[in-house]
């Protein structure tokens, strides 16, 4: 059933709001997409804090233009387009689609957006291979903690050495 002009306007307005508040987005071609795959992808996306939606390319193009995403041209994408939007993490949207595409080869990246700049399909693939924000923060904490724990081990080593020497001296002295 065809959508009315008012419904289309609401859709565009909704997508513009998503584009203005997002950190990143990834677009993928979804030809041959089944309902089982859709349910699986929705669950995966919800788990990672990513919002997914499918919109006609013409409405997506209007929304991208209104949101100031000049580098993105949905009309040039092949087939039906699924959009994944991440509000918390720059790599989440691309990671969710990449993870899902491992089981579903028909999923092909079309393009993406990062900080308002358009990305090619290859750049989105590279973005998806980056570690997430949580992984980077945990690596940073580990790196910051390494010198402190090393210093503590050095100090503990001196105390262990002193205890070992005192124990050896105790064993050498005759009991009185």
Strand partners, 85: 25, 51
Rounded distance, CA 146 to CA 39, Å?
A: 43
Cα–chain-centroid distance for residue 131?
Answer: 8
**How would you write the pLDDT of the chain (176 residues) with one tens digit per residue?**
677 888 888 988 998 899 899 988 999 888 777 888 888 888 988 988 899 998 888 888 888 888 888 888 887 887 788 899 998 888 888 888 888 888 877 777 888 888 888 888 888 888 888 887 778 888 888 888 888 877 788 778 877 888 888 888 888 877 65
Q: Write down the pLDDT at residue 155.
A: 78
pLDDT of residue 170: 82
Report the pLDDT value the prediction gives residue 85, as an integer from 0 to 100.
92
Angstrom distances, CA of residue 82 to CA of 23, 63, 105, 116: 17, 14, 15, 18
């Amino acid at each position: 059933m065809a959508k009315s002009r008012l419904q289309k306007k609401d859709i565009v307005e909704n997508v513009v709001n998503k584009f203005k508040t997002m950190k990143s987005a990834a677009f993928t071609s979804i030809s041959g997409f089944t309902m089982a795959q859709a349910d699986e992808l929705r669950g995966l996306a919800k788990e990672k804090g990513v919002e997914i939606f499918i919109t006609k390319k013409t409405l997506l193009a209007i929304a991208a233009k209104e949101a100031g995403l000049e580098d993105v041209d949905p009309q040039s994408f092949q087939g039906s387009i699924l959009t994944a939007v991440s509000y918390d993490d720059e790599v989440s949207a691309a990671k969710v689609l990449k993870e899902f595409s491992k089981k579903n080869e028909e999923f092909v990246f079309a393009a993406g957006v990062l900080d308002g700049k358009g990305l090619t399909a290859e750049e989105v693939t590279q973005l998806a291979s980056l570690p997430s924000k949580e992984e980077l923060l945990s690596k940073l904490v580990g790196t910051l903690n390494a010198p402190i724990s090393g210093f503590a081990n050095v100090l503990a080593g001196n105390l262990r050495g002193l205890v070992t020497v005192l124990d050896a001296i105790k064993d050498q002295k005759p009991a009185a």
